[in-house]
Chain A
Amino acid sequence: MHMQAYVKPVAIALIMLSLLLVPQFATTYTTSVILNILMWIGLVTSWLILAGFTGYISLGHGAFLGIGAYFVASYWQILPFPILILLSGLICVFVAAVVGYPVLRVKGPYFVILTLGLSEFVKYSLVYYEVNIRGTVGRILLRTPSLENLYYWVLVICLLSIATAYLIKRSRFGLALMSIKDDEDAAEALGVNAALAKWKAFAISAFFPGMIGAVMAMRWTYIDPYTVFNPMMSFQVTITAFLGGIAYVHGPIIGATMLTLLSQSLWARYPNFYMIALGVILIFIVMFLPQGLAGLLSKINVPGFIKDVFKNVSSPERRKEL
């Protein structure tokens, strides 16, 4: 066999190994930065299961994060943590299934606005419940798991979301979703049950932010509706996805890593004007790299291992092969 065949698995194995060892060797802060990158990769990858494949841009992804966080806060120290994480994800699947049934009939910009409105609706319903029924707002979480513990949970969820997106992309189901993106009416005419496919994709994509919310609540230790249902979370998911390139499964990995490291290296150096710098850089990337960073990588003649790592993982050309 050719030497090149080993490059990809070896590279992936090395990356996995170093990710596993991070909490053992890195400082608390480095661990928390990498945890943050993994969180964004998980969020953006799960978002792509609906938005990337079908073209239905949801601005409500952050709401599932909030639901997961609130659920775990309500039952913390009552149920064991792994069960709480799983239940948080399942509840989000249920909510997505209920909400998605009517919502996914709406198309184009109306769908985008509707998802944003829905997440605000969830937030204010929760505020109403807290204020009028529970009589207080926000919860303090005591005796939360260590940073290292949370790191491994986020790593597992992140890998699960990547695996799920990859498997869907390679399946008949994925093909159905992508045909919806190209032309929904034509897809239906050819026998794709578009409504059902979208509904399933929406429910699956809600599973991961629910679980991530459950883990991150343990890190934030104090949660209230305004912070966990912050619409900025949903916006940043979308921005990261476009930065990475929404047609690629590895887009979120590149996008989230770049954006987190970029913003972190800027705010740490220039606390007073990093936002301006970040804005300028983002405008440049969007103007000159409409396909995202993953699109750039796939186009250029990359020397050596990088291209091998990403080659054929998920490029649009792959669709033609299927």
Chain B
Amino acid sequence: MPKKNWVCLLLLLGMALMVFSLAGCGGKDTTAPAAKDKEEIKIGFSISLTGIYAPAAESQMRAYDLWLEQVNKRGGIHLKEYGKSLPVKFVYYDDQSSTDMATRIYEKLVTEDKVDMLLPPWGTTLHFAIAPLAEKFQMPVVGNTACSVKIRELDAKNFWFITSCIPDRQTEALVDLMKAHRNQLKTVAITYVQDLFPRENLQFLEPLLKAAGFEVVLVKDYPIGVSDLSSLMAEIKRLNPDAYLALSYPEDSFLITNQAMEAGLNPKFFLLLVGPSIAAYDAVYGPATEGILTQGHWSPKGGWPGAQDFYNGFVEKYGERPDYLDSALAYVSCEILEQALTKAGSLDREAVRNVIATSEFETINGPIGFTGVENLRMPAMWLQWQQGELEIVWPAETATAKLLIPKPKW
């Protein structure tokens, strides 16, 4: 009996400890002390270390870490309010790829950890989940890895999106690119994975293609996590379209590449929406990537100040190249936050918010400024693999190479 009492006592103790670990249980939310003796700038975010987004979120986390290292090497961010430069410290937690966890984490970051600023989590879903919290706490957040036409539905004054990969804008650019090569492209096959972003792309793409006089010979969907698309590849091969537009995610981009190779599917114009910009893609396929198109609006050769340095710094730190989409976007949102803090000279949320909403920022992806929640300064672009490098092939004013057409056979 006494032995069992001990077990019980231990359990109770453990429980009490955990309750106490919910730090700051007393008192309603208080604002961070605006002390003049501030020693560091705390920036908080949640990251998907586990769960379905974990493989994708690594590109983002690496860019955050690279920026953190660089900014602290520079001595931190100079804030006029304190008359000195303050080093940056990250506070982050694993959101397990769950909206429930992400919302709780951002509440903790703001009300318990009292971070000074926030960075976003990975992906459209989690951006949408935390946008209302940014409003509630009046805390500015520069989003990065999220794209959907739904961003304009958000009633947001403290949330912005950098990317130009918004489905209506980028499909327009794609159809313009295809129109420029109309003599070689008449028929089009489209497949898409059943999720928000690919579906939105289809919604705008199909009418635009038809209006431009292209013949859409196939539109097929398949679920997330599909493990075999060989019959679909065989069907597309039979239809023999000039262009095959796969509105895919990274997982199925690999699957389609494999099975298109096996089927000997060789369209003149071959596009995989998300996937070919990540480092693993060319690591797996090497020279077979030649001619494959994908979405993206950054390249180290884009001519923007700092672009090549970011590329080199990333390769030096991690031993592989950055994801041209997510890593670049994540780094850009850090750059914008840094410049906004410097310009505001303060950690005051309202002051920083106003700077972000009204200023123009110099980034590794060119000049960026916001109209509402959107960055309209950057045109929608398309990338293509050429000679082992991702080149911007559209539009002409930002292009680093001409479109390679027809795509060489596998």
Contacts and interface: CB of A to CB of B under 8 A. Distances in A.
Judge: A and B partners, yes or no: yes
Interface stretch (A71-79, A136-144, A203-211): A136-144
A322 interface: no
Interface stretch (B100-108, B168-176, B310-318, B389-397): B100-108
Nearest to A123: B223
Interface string B188-221: 0000001110011001000000000000000001
Contacts of A226: 52, 195, 224
A222 B194 contact: no
User: Which of A26, A130, A275 has the largest number of chain B CB atoms within 10 A?
Assistant: A26
Given A136-B203, A137-B199, A230 B104 contact: no
Q: Classify the secondary structure of B's interface with A.
A: helix
A28 B199 CA distance: 36
B11 interface: yes
Interface string A232-271: 0000000000000000000000000110011011011101
Nearest to A288: B7
A221 B128 contact: yes
Interface stretch (B24-32, B268-276, B365-373): B24-32
B361 to A, nearest CB: 27
Contact of B99 (A222, A272, A274, A306): A222
Contacts of A86: none
A274 B22 contact: no
Contact of B107 (A29, A124, A135): A29
Contacts of A223: 99
B192 to A, nearest CB: 8
Interface string A36-76: 10000000000000000000000000000000000000000
B401 interface: no
A300 B98 contact: no
Contact of A271 (B5, B93, B99): B93
B15 A140 contact: no
B18 interface: yes
Contacts of A303: 5
B5 A30 contact: no
Given A221-B129, A226-B195, A32 B28 contact: no
A33 interface: yes
Contacts of A300: 1, 4-5, 7-8
B386 to A, nearest CB: 33
Interface residues of A, number: 55
A269 B5 CA distance: 29
Contacts of B125: 138, 222, 224, 227
A20 interface: no
Contacts of B93: 267-268, 271
Contacts of B107: 28-29, 32
A220 B155 contact: no
A258 B8 CA distance: 14
B179 to A, nearest CB: 25
B92 interface: yes
A25 B28 contact: yes
Contacts of B17: 265
B132 A262 contact: no
Contact of B223 (A36, A124, A306): A124
Contacts of B229: none
B108 A268 contact: yes
Contacts of B4: 299-301
A36 B100 contact: yes
B37 interface: no
A27 B129 contact: no
Contact of B153 (A27, A142, A274): A142
B35 interface: no
B242 interface: no
Contacts of A219: 100, 103
A118 interface: no
A136 B199 contact: yes
Contacts of B128: 138, 140, 221-222
Given A33-B104, A227-B99, A265-B21, A138 B196 contact: yes
Nearest to B112: A29
B58 interface: no
Contacts of A143: 155
A140 B150 contact: yes
Contact of A33 (B5, B7, B22): B22
Nearest to B19: A261
A127 interface: yes
Interface string B103-132: 110011011100000000000010011011
Nearest to A144: B132
B223 A220 contact: no
Interface string A271-305: 11011000000000000000001001101111100
A126 B166 CA distance: 25
A275 B50 contact: yes
Contacts of A140: 128, 150, 153-154
Given A27-B111, A137-B194, 8 more contacts: A27-B28, A127-B223, A143-B155, A222-B125, A261-B22, A265-B21, A268-B93, A303-B5
Closest 9 CB pairs of A and B: A222-B128, A300-B4, A261-B18, A265-B21, A137-B196, A220-B99, A28-B111, A29-B108, A265-B18
Interface of B: 1, 4-5, 7-8, 11-12, 15, 17-19, 21-22, 24-29, 49-50, 52, 92-94, 98-100, 103-104, 107-108, 110-112, 125, 128-129, 131-132, 150, 153-155, 194-196, 199-200, 203, 221, 223-224
Interface of A: 25-30, 32-33, 36, 124, 127-128, 130-132, 135-138, 140, 142-144, 216, 219-224, 226-227, 230, 257-258, 261-262, 264-265, 267-269, 271-272, 274-275, 293, 296-297, 299-303, 306
12 contacts: A27-B112, A36-B104, A135-B199, A138-B128, A140-B150, A223-B99, A227-B98, A261-B19, A268-B21, A272-B49, A300-B4, A303-B5
